[in-house]
Amino acid sequence: AAKEAGKASWIRFEPQMRQDMVSHARVASELRNAIIRGELRLLYQPVFDLVTGRLHGAEALVRWQHPQRGFVSPAEFIPVAERSGLIVPLGAWVLREACEQLARWRAEHGAGAIEAINVNVAVRQLREAGLVDEVAAVLSETGLTPINLILEVTESSVVDGWQVRETLEQLHDMGVRLALDDFGTGQSSLSLLRAFPVDVLKLDKSFVDGIADGEDRGRLAVAGAVAQLAEHLQLKAVAEGIESQAQMDRLRALGYRYGQGFFMAKPLPADECGALMAADPVRAA
């Protein structure tokens, strides 16, 4: 805000701002140590095929187990990691760890058990020159192919300019799939779909909330329109944040083939996610 206000102007330094800055600096320095000390780990939220009920994929979600403060939510530390640049080493760790886990699952439960892993990528990572090479290196070192990886980016990150666009195009040309995360909450959803090589639309949870109580016509209309858009553009439609049977039924009826949410499964430790694969009666090797 200070920057937007212009160089010649000034802003009042509110006590809350000082507190925010102090806590930002503290979290940033602690996060730096967290990566080194191995305090980060990944949970995996299964993505289900809503028609067959089978496990379809999984999204890697980072967790920080702080030695004193306990569990720190990614909603708190990811923004700090982005602003401080730590998202670059953190994101590199997440990518490698998630790909290694996918390779382990496929070795243990068969390649038919799970095709791809979803990894969230921050805009700061997309601006790094080395991302495309890094993805290629991790895939080859873990014995995976590009089809095994889906990168999740938000709408706001892809409007970031030609450099990001070029990175996304290179990744897509390589065969890595791209998902637009939190879809519907950004500013320019529709034009993005033509300008960027998108493969998957992830309907934001805010449209799923209250979708089944019959009163929220607006959100229902958006959810339906996004499903139709996905169908016409031949994109995969995924609904996130499904918390009830009624929501799941409604989304399936609207055309959502895939979904994830606490109703089906919370983010799980890798072995529990693997147990779901082992329990699938029809999985093929």
Report the residue from 8, 75, 129, 190 that binds ligand C2E according to the rule CB under 6 A.
75
Nearest 5°: the CA angle 249, 207, 214 is 55
* Nearest Cα to Cα of residue 118 among 229, 50, 43, 34: 43
Regarding 152 and contact with Mg ion (CB under 5 A), the answer is: yes
Contact (CB, 8 A) for 155 and 192: yes
| Among ligand C2E, Mg ion, none, partner that 74 touches (CB below 5 to 8 angstroms by kind) | ligand C2E
What proportions of the chain, in percent to the nearest 5, are helix, strand and coil?
A: 50, 20, 30
Residue 160 Cβ vs ligand C2E, minimum distance, rounded to whole Å: 14
From 46-54, 96-104, 173-181, 264-272, span contacting Mg ion (CB under 5 A): 173-181
Helix (H, G, I), strand (E, B) or coil at 178: strand
Regarding 131 and contact with ligand C2E (CB under 6 A), the answer is: no
Residue 251 Cβ vs ligand C2E, minimum distance, rounded to whole Å: 12
CB nearer to Mg ion: give 101 or 120.
120
* Nearest Cα to Cα of residue 259 among 196, 176, 201, 173: 201
Report the residue from 182, 184, 198, 200 that binds ligand C2E according to the rule CB under 6 A.
182
From 34-42, 92-100, 101-109, 147-155, span contacting Mg ion (CB under 5 A): 147-155
Total residues interacting with ligand C2E, rule: CB under 6 A: 23
Query: Among the residues of the chain, which ranges form H helices?
Result: 15-37, 74-84, 87-109, 123-126, 131-141, 155-158, 162-174, 189-195, 205-208, 217-232, 245-254, 270-279
Helix (H, G, I), strand (E, B) or coil at 61: strand
Distance (Å, rounded) from C-alpha 40 to C-alpha 204?
Answer: 26
Residue 31 Cβ vs ligand C2E, minimum distance, rounded to whole Å: 13
The residue ranges that bind ligand C2E (CB under 6 A) are 45, 61-62, 73-75, 78, 91, 94, 120-122, 152, 181-182, 240-243, 260-262, 267
The residue ranges that bind Mg ion (CB under 5 A) are 120, 152, 181-182, 240
